[in-house]
Amino acid sequence: MTLTPKTRAPLQVLFPANGTVHTPANTAPGTGWPVTFTDYKFPVSGQGTISFTFKTDKPFRIVLASEKDLDGTQLVLEVNLDKTTVRKNNGTDPADVIAGTTEEKARLDVGCEIPYWVSLDYLNARLRFGKGEMLPQLVVFEAPLNVGTDKGAAFNYKTLRYIGLATMADTPLPTVVDHLLWPMPVVLTPPPVLVPSDRLTLEMIARNEATVVTSLPDACQVLYGTVAGPDIKLDTPDFRDFSAAINYSIITPGCMCYEKLKKKATEFGKPDPLATYLRITMGPNQGDSPGSPFVLEIWPGQHYSPIHDHGEACAVIKVLHGDIWVELFPELNPKITKYFTEAVFHAGEVTYLTPEYYQVHKLVNRNQPGNMTATIQCYRYPNDSTKHWEYFDYLDGNDIKKFVPDSDWEYLDFRDKIRAEWAKAGNLVDTNRFTKNFPVEE
Q: Where in the chain is the domain with CATH 2.60.120.200?
A: 21-182
Query: Which of 308-317, 381-390, 396-405 is least confident?
Result: 381-390
Domain with CATH 2.60.120.10 in the chain: 194-435
pLDDT in tens, 241-293: 999 999 999 999 999 999 999 999 998 888 899 999 999 999 877 777 777 89
Mean per-residue pLDDT of the chain: 87
- For range 305-329, the mean pLDDT: 94
Q: How confident is the model at residue 312 (pLDDT cuts 50, 70, 90)?
A: confident
Find, among 47, 122, 81, 134, the residue nearest to 331 by Cα: 134
**Alpha carbon distance 316, 335 (integer Å):** 28
Say if residues 310 and 379 touch (Cβ distance below 8 Å): yes
Burial 393-432 (b: 16+ CB within 10 A, else e): bbbeeeeeeebebebbbebeebbebbeebbeebeeeeebe
| 3-state SS assignment for residue 249 | helix
In angstroms, rounded to a whole number, what is the distance separating the alpha carbons of residues 347 and 26?
A: 65
Is pLDDT of 319 > 70? yes
Q: Each residue of 153-199: pLDDT tens digit?
A: 446 889 999 999 999 998 999 989 888 899 999 999 999 999 999 99
Percent of the chain residues topping a pLDDT of 90: 68
Q: What is the pLDDT of residue 150?
A: 47
Q: How confident is the model at residue 136 (pLDDT cuts 50, 70, 90)?
A: very high
Cβ pair 405, 278 in contact under 8 A: no
Asked whether residue 13 carries a pLDDT value surpassing 80, the answer given is no
CA-to-CA distance for 109 and 51, rounded, in angstroms?
15
Q: How confident is the model at residue 39 (pLDDT cuts 50, 70, 90)?
A: confident
The answer to whether the beta carbons of residues 128 and 345 sit under 8 Å apart is: no
Residue 304 carries which DSSP code? B
Give pTM, 2 decimals. Answer: 0.87
Q: What is the pLDDT of residue 21?
A: 66
Distance, in Å, from the CA atom of 260 to the CA atom of 10, rounded to the nearest integer, reads 39
* Residue among 366, 344, 367 at smallest CA distance from 438: 367
In the predicted model, is pLDDT for residue 436 greater than 60? no
* Top CATH class, 21-182: mainly beta
CATH 3.40.50.720 fits 194-435, yes or no: no
- Tell me which residue of 5, 12, 8 sits closest to 384, measured CA to CA: 5
What per-residue confidence (pLDDT) applies to 428?
59
Distance CA 305, CA 362 (A): 6
Residue 184: alpha-carbon gap to chain centroid = 18
Instruction: Check: CB of residue 64 under 8 Å from CB of residue 40.
Output: no
The SS3 of residue 2 is coil
Answer yes or no: are the C-beta atoms of 317 and 347 closer than 8 Å: no
Q: What is the DSSP string of 327-344?
A: EE-SS--TT--S-SEEEE
